[in-house]
Amino acid sequence: MEVRTLTTVKPDLLNSAVTRLFARLREHLVDQGASVPAVRVLAQLRDRGPSRVTDLAAALQVSQPTMTQQLHRLAEQGRIVRTIDAGDGRAVRAELTAQGRAVLDSLVASRSALLVAGLDHLDESDRDAIAAATPALARLADALDGLRIQK
Amino acid sequence: MEVRTLTTVKPDLLNSAVTRLFARLREHLVDQGASVPAVRVLAQLRDRGPSRVTDLAAALQVSQPTMTQQLHRLAEQGRIVRTIDAGDGRAVRAELTAQGRAVLDSLVASRSALLVAGLDHLDESDRDAIAAATPALARLADALDGLRIQK
DNA sequence: GATATTACATAGCCTGCCTATATAGTGTGG
DNA sequence: CCACACTATATAGGCAGGCTATGTAATATC
């Protein structure tokens, strides 16, 4: 049997760390003229391909008018194109442009570089701990999703 | 010597986990009629005691007008009181009310309960990994803060 | 073919953030 | 001791991102 200091998760410390990390990640996007909601839409279009307004809104859990507005902004910036669906004149197909894809790739790469640079300032043991915990944190997010739905 | 799979931090997965966790934590506050910026102000007042507008703005890294606005909202809700500083007629002293303190305590307790409930759905090994990584994540946030300043 | 439904757009409102500027109190040099 | 500079907060105006309610146009359905 392993003998080590018993450590339990301190909710406040976990909350604080997550909040601070998120703030830095968001700030990094904003410094490059992007935003978290915009990047989420671009990533969704990259992953799911051309999509309708309503489907994107559902996938990202925002209202349809919010998604309409976001897509109009992204279209003005040339990062997506909006075309009327052939076969359903009501529907809009949003699709990444080459520029949009390039911007997204660049933002993602830059964000990874930031995290790697941050990790580089840590001890090996801290990096190991974070690497080991990453899947667990994803599962914690899954669990919280589940609790939300039951609410 | 321990023999185990060598794992490196995957920046995208870490970003995704942090982003999702933050989204749930924020949603949980919003469900209770609060917001992340408002709670940050209340927590600051709890930790530092009565404070001036400018000091709060600096501590939370927002502009002075943003803090002025936030404090007016919190005052309308009865969560803080704003009094003119005795000794400097220009300055405003913002201070938690008993109600504000109670609301903050309740929100913090509820957030902890949410996290504990989520953790309860995980394996012992996941909980251990998260407990072990929490200080490392805080240090990662510190490191990113440092990188930001050097920028 | 009239009507119901669906997909998106628009209107109007809120929070939260910003910069620029006004106002009012404090402090200071002459 | 008063004009002037400075400092603390407030106000004005603007943008992003979120919401609900509702309008409009295309499609489906009976």
pLDDT tens, N- to C-terminus, chain A (151 residues): 666 666 899 999 999 999 999 999 999 999 999 999 999 999 999 999 999 999 999 999 999 999 999 999 999 999 999 999 998 999 999 999 999 999 999 999 999 999 999 999 999 999 999 999 999 999 999 999 998 765 4
Residue B92 is classified by DSSP as: E
pLDDT tens-digit profile of B26-85?
999 999 999 999 999 999 999 999 999 999 999 999 999 999 999 999 999 999 999 999
Could you give the CA distance from residue B140 to residue B143 in angstroms, rounded to a whole number? 5
What is the pLDDT at residue A148? 79
Closest partner residue to B9 (CB to CB) among A25, A111, A127 is A127
| Shortest CA gap A20–chain B (Å) | 6
- Say if strands A92-96 and A80-84 run parallel, antiparallel, or are unpaired: antiparallel
B147 close contact with A: CB closer than 8 A: yes
Contact indicator for B115, A18 with CB cutoff of 8 Å: no
CA of A34: nucleotide with nearest C1': D16
C1’ D16 / CA B69, Å: 17
Could you give the CA distance from residue B132 to residue B110 in angstroms, rounded to a whole number? 23
Residue of B nearest to A27 (CA): B148
Chain C positions under 7 Å from a protein CB?
A: 6-12, 15-20, 24-27
> Strand D closer than 7 Å to the CB of B71?
yes
- The size of chain A, in residues, is 151
Over residues B21-29, the mean pLDDT reads 97
Compute the 3-state secondary structure of chain A and give helix, strand, coil in percent, each to the nearest 5. Answer: 70, 10, 25
| Cβ count near B24 (within 10 Å) | 20
Cα angle for residues A121, A22, A138 (degrees, 5° grid): 90
Which residues 52-111 of A are in CB contact (within 8 Å) with B? 108, 111
What is the pLDDT at residue B151? 45
CA of B70: nucleotide with nearest C1': C16
pLDDT tens-digit profile of B140-151?
999 999 987 654
What is the pLDDT at residue B148? 79
Compute the 3-state secondary structure of chain B and give helix, strand, coil in percent, each to the nearest 5. Answer: 70, 10, 25
Which residues 13-42 of A are in CB contact (within 8 Å) with B? 13-22, 24-25, 27, 31, 36
Residue A32 is classified by DSSP as: T
* Inter-chain CB proximity B130 and A24 less than 8 Å: no
